[in-house]
Amino acid sequence: MPSPRSSIAPSPSPSHPFRNTTGLLVVIPDKIDVEEESRFYDELCDVHARASRNSLPRSPHGPPSVFSRDIWLGDNSGESSAFARDVKISGWTNVGDELGGAYVVYDCVIRTKEGTVIHAHKRYSAFVELYQALRRSLPLHQQHFVPSLPPKSPFSRYRPAFLDRRRRQLQYWLSTVLLHPEIGACQAVRFWVMD
């Protein structure tokens, strides 16, 4: 009768996963020279610091990445001619009373590249005028960058929920226009902000 030990096959000795590779394996010495590593690190940091001081950040040349779906609005460091850096509509106020021809005014807060803050108080009709001026003055290949305005709603125009939703929609619209690298620099936009 065979012994139980003889029926078990001997297990193969574990092999090294890189045993058959040639030329791709770099042997690291057991001892690391800390001073040499420190000098190397300082040199790399110094080269990087010198390069960042000597060159301004550059805007991408060409269209945005198709794979990552990045959106590039000129990042205010290179080729953008827009004067605005940030656009918010901080609130609204009712002017007049409902019986005597009341209307709503939105407070558009525009921060320029230089850091100046401009408060432009605009009615919805002023946004419509800017939209129409852009459609008239922009070349056809740029008109598709101007989104549609939020619709009018005469029955709910004084309700706070409606006004807050419209404020957010107008903020999106105005940001899209003013922060665009080319449209944000056009004459119609500058006149609208300063009017």
**More confident call, 69 vs 128:** 128
Read off the tokens for 182. 């080319």
Q: How many CB atoms lie within 10 A of CB 108?
A: 22
> What pLDDT score does 185 carry?
87
Residue type, 136: R
> What pLDDT score does 75 carry?
43
- In which element (H, E) is residue 9 found? none
Q: Inform me whether the pLDDT recorded for 5 exceeds 80.
A: no
- The total number of residues shown for the chain amounts to 195
Q: Inform me whether the pLDDT recorded for 21 exceeds 50.
A: yes
Question: What is the spatial distance between Cα 141 and Cα 176, in angstroms, rounded to a whole number?
Answer: 16
Q: Inform me whether the pLDDT recorded for 176 exceeds 80.
A: yes
Burial 4-34 (b: 16+ CB within 10 A, else e): eeeeeeeeeeeeeeeeeeeeeeeeeeeeeee
Return the minimum-mean-pLDDT range out of 21-30, 67-76, 129-138, 164-173: 67-76
Beta strands across the sheet bearing 103-112:
84-95, 103-112, 117-123
Distance from CA of residue 182 to its chain's centroid? 16
Q: Inform me whether the pLDDT recorded for 24 exceeds 80.
A: no
In sequence order, what are the beta bridge partners of 121?
Answer: 107
* Inter-helix orientation angle 124-137/160-178, to 10°: 30
Residue type, 97: D
What pLDDT, in 10s, does the model give residues 85-134? 899 999 888 888 766 778 889 999 999 888 889 999 999 999 999 999 99
Q: Mean pLDDT in the chain?
A: 75
What pLDDT, in 10s, does the model give residues 26-39? 565 666 666 777 77
Q: Inform me whether the pLDDT recorded for 73 exceeds 60.
A: no
**More confident call, 5 vs 112:** 112
- What residue has token string 């092999």? 15
Q: How many CB atoms lie within 10 A of CB 75?
A: 15
